[in-house]
Amino acid sequence: MTASVTPAPAHTSVHERNKELALSMVAAWNRGELEGITRHWSPDIQHFSEDRPVDSRRMVAAMRGGLAAFPGLRLECRSIVAEGDRVILRITVTATHGGDFLGKKATGRKVTWYMLEELRFDDAGRVIEHYDVFNYLPMLKELGFVDADVM
């Protein structure tokens, strides 16, 4: 995992630069290129998933697992907001269940879930904090883990 420094072009605000960097990470997800995401991370990045700390090795392993279980995974950024040194993205994820997930073998079903990502950038454009929150309920219904009439 190498960190890169990405200065804001003279005509772009720091907010716009950070939003562009966040969207480039979304694009890397859509290409299945984890390095396209991790290259923007500071070496001492702090991750929090559902407010629980996660070290970078576990985060990358979870990302790889997600790509394996859901090939063709696609993130669609529905909105993006930058304030101060933070960028927040509201994302819809669609994929095909093509690999083992929570003990369930591939079903070939199309699935959807939702997530919020908050990224905090340093002055050099590296992500120093990453927070995520997932709403897996639609996907869990689609895969039969949860009754369809729940919420």
Question: Within 13 Å and on the Cβ side, how many CA atoms surround 88?
Answer: 6
DSSP the chain: ------PPPTTS-HHHHHHHHHHHHHHHHHHT-THHHHTTEEEEEEEEETTEEE-HHHHHHHHHHHHHHSTT-EEEEEEEEEETTEEEEEEEEEEE--S-BTTBPP---EEEEEEEEEEEE-TTS-EEEEEEEEE-HHHHHHTTSS-TT--
Q: What is the b/e burial string over 59-88, where b = at least 16 CB atoms within 10 angstroms of the residue's CB?
A: bbeebeeebebbeebebeeeebebeeebbb
What tens-digit pLDDT sequence spans the chain (151 residues)?
Answer: 445 555 555 557 999 999 999 999 999 999 999 999 999 999 999 999 999 999 999 999 999 999 999 988 999 999 999 999 999 999 999 999 999 999 999 999 999 999 999 999 999 999 999 999 999 999 999 999 999 888 7
Is residue 29 within 8 Å of 73, Cβ to Cβ? yes
Side chain identity at 118, as an amino acid letter? E
Side chain identity at 16, as an amino acid letter? E
Is residue 117 within 8 Å of 89, Cβ to Cβ? yes
Per-residue pLDDT at 150: 86
